[in-house]
Chain A
Amino acid sequence: MRTNDSIIQTKQVNFFYGTFKALIDVTMDFEKNKVTALIGPSGCGKSTLLRLLNRMNDLIDGTRVEGEVIFEGTNIYDTGIDPVDIRRRIGMVFQKPNPFPKTIFDNITYGPKLNGVRSKDAQETLVQQSLEQASLWEEVKDILNRSAMTLSGGQQQRLCIARALAMRPDVLLMDEPTSALDPISTAKIEELIAELKRNYTIIIVTHNMQQAARVSDYTGFFYLGKLIEFNPTEKLFTKPDEKQTEEYITGRFG
């Protein structure tokens, strides 16, 4: 599948943890301002692929990448590319909310400050914008100086989204962002994802197939390190091309 409006492409990517091949020949196109969901049973490689897109896998010793990941025309695995620059433009939200043990305000400004946003005014504007984008502003606008650790799990996760947005990334990677949250918080995050795709490209890993069906425009189904099927979400969940996909989404395995 190839569209003109793609922002990230993987080309024949193989990924190894030591000698274990976790991804096999994955070629994919992620379209701009769309939500792409990655689904599949545990250990299928979907999270590995996600973390490969902003070089978070670099942090694990003994891993190796083959193939190319093209982001706006450059292979992010080329020598001379600083993974720090990549991660500024491709933000990430993790499975468990992981705010810093700082105030809500300082959580948001942590990244921007290190990137030269020094003036108090600019910081305040940024905090408000980011929190509004993450639909958290109304809940926390009066307690910005309170520790982020005092927020509920769902609020913490939206704070983490706001923190990622404060870096003004182009792409937001989400690794099972609602798996540690209750249904109401999950619903809020899903609404948020629908809002955010106007300005950002979102790639989300989820274990929850209903979630993939609800929030995404495209869905990729992974099994044993291979991309089995990659199609518009509606097609994948109603008339899948592959038998394995059908078996998985109808709950026959996984």
Chain B
Amino acid sequence: MRWRYIKQHAFFAIVRLAAFSIAAAIGAFLVYILVNGIGAISWEFLSEHPRESMTKGGIMPAILGTFYLTAGAIIIALPLGVASAIYLSEYAKQGPVIRIIRVGVNCLAGVPSIVFGLFGLGLFVVFLQFGSCILSGALTLGFLILPTIIGASEEALKSVPQTFREASLGLGVSKWQTILRIVLPNALPGILTGSILGVGRAAGETAPIMFTAAAFFTAKLPSSIFDEVMALPYHVYVLATAGTYIEETRPLQYGTVLVLVALVLGVDLIAIIIRSYIRKKKRW
């Protein structure tokens, strides 16, 4: 009896340790970036172009570039992903074909991001002759986050009670109208927040945009979707590996990383707040 009691306590201690160590790792990581990066942050850093071979000045073009690429990726992937999810969970007769599509989607989620980069280079940059530009990068990132969006959308669609569908169909409303007017509006908050949480991945990826959109340095801001842009993750990569002033620009690198992490966490936080607000309001 006593022995069992000790075993139980030992087990609880282990699982508790596992949970706390994760929190500690994340905390340490954030603190480290904050301590090293905060010195670089200033209004000039956030609002100016880089100067003197990117050893001075700001990262505004990279912030803007990351914003364009991420927004573009969502604009492309959201309709496509939501449409696929509607087909998969509302329309398609469950069977082998659907299972293959689902396996495909899951495989897509596991593909290394550099492969997406090469795929984007081959298809959008070279074959379709878009060149290295916002459009190519956004398309590539869009494909990268597609599985996340499909997953979040399917989850959200499934969470809409079956009784709503029955009520609508029972009134002699067609399946399409039922999806459009009952299922989708009730799933939308879940779709959006789930997708936004997945967006962090798109904003932080370097490999997919390296060949398709990101520029080492641009003197001017992009004027169309066919221009190259700077981007935060690629900027860090360049400063940390390719420059001649790697050591001198360390503070800038940390500052850029801090901005990137803050942006991603900020967006996640907004999504989480919206979601909890909607959950509280939901009454079924």
Contact = CB atoms under 8 A, between A and B. Distances in A.
B284 A101 contact: yes
B181 interface: yes
Contact of B94 (A56, A61, A86, A87): A61
B223 interface: no
B93 interface: yes
Interface string B179-204: 00110001000000000000000000
B169 interface: yes
B106 interface: no
A110 B171 contact: yes
Contacts of A98: 161, 163-164, 166-167
Interface in B118-168: 161, 163-168
A86 B169 CA distance: 11
A31 to B, nearest CB: 23
B169 A59 contact: yes
A70 to B, nearest CB: 19
Given A84-B173, A149-B284, A100 B166 contact: no
Interface in A168-214: none
B166 A56 contact: yes
A36 interface: no
B110 interface: no
Contacts of B161: 98
Given A56-B166, A59-B166, A94-B166, A114 B173 contact: yes
Interface in A21-70: 54, 56, 59, 61
Interface stretch (A72-80, A159-167, A219-227, A234-242): A159-167
Nearest to A88: B172
A96 B173 CA distance: 20
A154 interface: no
A136 interface: no
A59 B161 CA distance: 15
Contacts of A99: 167
B171 A111 contact: yes
A180 to B, nearest CB: 11
A interface bracket (residues with beta carbon within 8 Å of B): 20 to 34
Contacts of B181: 110, 114
Contact of B172 (A59, A61, A111, A149): A111
Given A61-B94, A94-B163, A149-B283, A84 B174 contact: yes
Given A98-B163, A101-B186, A163 B171 contact: yes
B47 interface: no
A101 B172 contact: no
Contacts of A149: 283-284
A97 to B, nearest CB: 9
B186 A167 contact: no
A167 B283 contact: no
A84 B178 CA distance: 11
Contacts of A59: 165-166, 169
Contacts of A114: 173, 177, 181
A85 interface: yes
Contact of B170 (A61, A85, A94, A115): A94
Contacts of A56: 166, 169-170
Interface in A81-130: 84-89, 91-92, 94, 96, 98-101, 110-111, 114-115
A165 B231 CA distance: 58
A135 B223 CA distance: 63
Nearest to B170: A92
Nearest to B163: A98
B255 to A, nearest CB: 46
A151 to B, nearest CB: 11
A99 B166 CA distance: 11
A77 B173 CA distance: 18
Contacts of A54: 170
A87 B167 contact: no
B125 to A, nearest CB: 44
A98 B164 CA distance: 6
| 10 residue pairs, one from A and one from B, having the closest CB atoms | A88-B172, A87-B172, A111-B171, A98-B163, A92-B170, A149-B283, A98-B167, A84-B174, A84-B172, A114-B173
Interface of B: 93-94, 161, 163-174, 177, 181-182, 186, 282-284
20 contacts: A56-B169, A56-B170, A59-B165, A84-B172, A84-B174, A86-B172, A87-B171, A88-B171, A91-B170, A94-B167, A98-B164, A98-B167, A100-B164, A100-B182, A101-B186, A110-B168, A110-B181, A111-B172, A160-B167, A164-B170
Given A86-B172, A91-B170, 9 more contacts: A56-B169, A59-B166, A88-B171, A89-B172, A101-B186, A101-B282, A101-B284, A160-B167, A164-B170
